[in-house]
Structure 1
Amino acid sequence: MKPLSQFPLEQARAVRVVLTDIDDTITTEGVLTASAYGALEALHRAGFTVVPVTGRPAGWCDHIARMWPVDAVVGENGAFYFRYDRHRRKMHQHFWAQPQELKQNRVRLSEIEREVLTTVPGSALASDQAYRVADLAIDFCEDVPALPETEVDRIVAIFERAGAQAKVSSIHVNGWFGAYDKLSMAKTLLAEVFGIGWHEAQESVVFAGDSPNDEPMFAAFPLSVGVANVHTFAHRLKNKPAYITQGHSGDGFAELAAFLLQAKQRKDSA
C-alpha cells in the first residue's frame, strides 16, 4: 500500500466517482464527525458522484439516500441499491433477489442465527438487524465486548457450512444467501444509473474502505484507498488497497476528499 501522496495527479484528475464504505471509513469510533460529513458534502457540491457502499441495513440506507449529500447508496453488502430522486420525491430501489427469495432466505438465516448465538458466547445480534431485509449481522465488537479473532472465524465458519456467504466488517460478521457482494451491486449501479461501463470505471472511480468486506472492491478498482486503520485487518486481506491515508477513519476519508478536490481544482484552472 502506497501513501496517498503517491497517487498520480493525472489519475486523480480523472476521478469523477467516489465509492466509499461507511463504518470506520467515514465514521470514527461509531460517530459521523463534522469533518467527514463536510468532506462528503464538499465532494458532492464539486460535482463528484458520491455513493456509500456499506454493510448497513435497508432502514439506514433509506435515510442515507434521502438525507445525506450522496447520489445513491449500496447496502447490506450488495443486496440492493437505493437512489432518491429529490426533484420527483421518489425512492428508486433495486434488489438483487426477488421478494419470495428474500423470504425463503430469511428462514434459513434464522437457523444460522440460532446456531451462532447458542454456540459462540459473547456474540449478539446486531442492534440494526430489525432494519435489514437480506442479510444477518452478528455483532462481535460494536455493542458487545470485542470477541477474539478465533471466535469471529467460528461465526464465519457457521455461515459457510450452511452455504451462505460471510464477510467480516470492522464491527459485524454479515452473512447472506446469494451470489452478490459490494462489487457486483456497485457495478450494476454504475452501469444502470450512471452509464459508467467497467472499462471506464477503472479510470474514473475511487473506492475507500477499511476492512475485509471491502476486499472485492480493493481487488477490482485500481484506484482504491484504505484509511489508515485498514492496517488492523491487513493480515486478513489477500487484496489490499493500492493507497493508504495518513488519517484514521473519518480523518482519512476527509484527507482523501481534500486530495481529490485539490486535483479537480488544478484541472479546472488549467
Structure 2
Amino acid sequence: MKPLSQLPLAAARSIRVVLTDIDDTVTTEGLLTAKAYGALEELHRAGFIVIPVTGRPAGWCDHIARMWPVDAVVGENGAFYFRYDRQRKKMQQHFWASPEELKQNRIRLDAIEKEVLATVPGSALASDQAYRLADLAVDFCEDVPALPETEVDRIVAIFEKAGAQAKVSSIHVNGWFGAYNKLSMAKTLLADVFGMDWEQAKNAVVYAGDSPNDEPMFEAFPLSVGVANIQALAHRLTHKPAYITENHSGDGFAELASLLLKAKG
C-alpha cells in the first residue's frame, strides 16, 4: 500500500466516481463527523458521482439515499441499490434476489442466528438487524465487548457450513445467501443508472474502505484507497488497497476528498 500522496495527478484527474464504505471509513468511532460529511458534500457539489457501498441495512440506506449528499447507495454488502430521484420524489430500488428468494433465505438465516448465539458466547445480533432485508449481521464489537479473532472466525465458519457467504467488517460478521457482493451490485448500479461499463469504471472510479468485506473492491479497482486504520486488519486481506491515507477513518476519507478536489480544480 503506497501513501495516498503518491497517487499520480493524472490518475486523480481521471476519477469521476467515488465509491466508499461507511463504517470506520466515513465515520469515526461510530460518529459521522462534520468534516467527513462535509467532504461528501464537497465532492457531490463538485460533480463527482458519490456512492456509499456499505454493509448497513435497508432501513439506513433509505435514509442515506434520501438525505445524504450522494447519488445512490449500495447496501447490505450488495443485496440492493437505492437511488432517490429528487426531482420526481421517487425512490428507485433494485434487489439482487426476488421477494420469494428473500423470504426463503430469511428462514435459513434464522437457523444460523440461533446456532451462532447459542455457540459463540458474547456474540449478539447487530442492533440494526431489525432494519435488514437480505442478510444477518452478528455484532462482535460495536455494541458488545470485542470478541477475539478466533471467535469471529467461528462465526464465519457457522455461516459457511450452512452454505452462506460471510464477510467480516470492522464491527460485524455479515452473512447472506446469494452470489453477490459489494462489487457485483456496484457494477450493476454503475451500468444501469450511470451508463458506465466495466472498462470505463476501472479508470474512472476510486474506492475507499477499511476492512475485509471491502476486499472484492480493492481487488477490482486499480484506484483503491484504504484509510489508515486498515492496518489493524491488513493481515486478514489477500488483496489490499493500492493506496493508504495518512489519517484514520473519517479524517482519512476527508484526506482523499481533498486530493480529488484539488486535482479537479
TM-score bracket for this pair, using the shorter chain length: over 0.9
Alignment correspondent of 2:37: 37
Distance 1:143 1:91 in 2: 31
Alignment correspondent of 2:146: 146
Cα RMSD (Å):
0.2
1:150 shift after superposition: 0.1
Alignment correspondent of 1:193: 193
Alignment correspondent of 1:132: 132
Q: Secondary structure at the match of 1:27?
A: coil
Post-superposition CA distance 1:203-237 (Å, at most 9, x none)? 10000000000000000000000000000110000
1:100 shift after superposition: 0.2
Name the aligned partner's letter for residue 11 of structure 1: A
Q: Secondary structure at the match of 2:137?
A: strand
1:114 shift after superposition: 0.1
Alignment correspondent of 2:20: 20
Distance 1:167 1:151 in 2: 14
Distance 1:79 1:241 in 2: 23
Q: Secondary structure at the match of 1:69?
A: coil
1:193 shift after superposition: 0.3
Alignment map for 1:224-235 (pairs within 5 Å)? 224-235=224-235
Q: Secondary structure at the match of 2:18?
A: strand
Distance 1:210 1:155 in 2: 20
1:65 shift after superposition: 0.0
Distance 2:204 2:181 in 1: 21
Alignment correspondent of 1:93: 93
1:113 shift after superposition: 0.1
Q: Secondary structure at the match of 2:82?
A: strand
Distance 2:93 2:211 in 1: 26
Q: Structure 1 stretches of 5 or more lacking a match?
A: 266-270
Alignment correspondent of 2:83: 83
Alignment correspondent of 1:268: none
Give me the identity figure in percent.
82
1:74 shift after superposition: 0.1
Q: TM-score, normalised by structure 1?
A: 0.98
Distance 2:102 2:58 in 1: 13
Name the aligned partner's letter for residue 68 of structure 1: W
Name the aligned partner's letter for residue 167 of structure 2: K
Name the aligned partner's letter for residue 57 of structure 2: P
Are residue 176 (structure 1) and residue 176 (structure 2) matched?
Answer: yes
Distance 1:109 1:8 in 2: 45
1:143 shift after superposition: 0.0
Q: Structure 2 stretches of 5 or more lacking a match?
A: none
Distance 2:44 2:79 in 1: 24
Alignment correspondent of 1:253: 253
Name the aligned partner's letter for residue 143 of structure 1: D
Q: TM-score, normalised by structure 2?
A: 1.00
Q: Secondary structure at the match of 1:134?
A: coil
Alignment map for 1:49-60 (pairs within 5 Å)? 49-60=49-60
Distance 2:224 2:195 in 1: 21
Distance 1:61 1:55 in 2: 10
1:188 shift after superposition: 0.2
1:94 shift after superposition: 0.0
Name the aligned partner's letter for residue 169 of structure 2: S
Alignment correspondent of 1:107: 107
Are residue 214 (structure 1) and residue 198 (structure 2) matched?
Answer: no
Alignment correspondent of 1:2: 2
Deviation >4 Å, runs of 4+? none
1:3 shift after superposition: 0.1
1:80 shift after superposition: 0.0
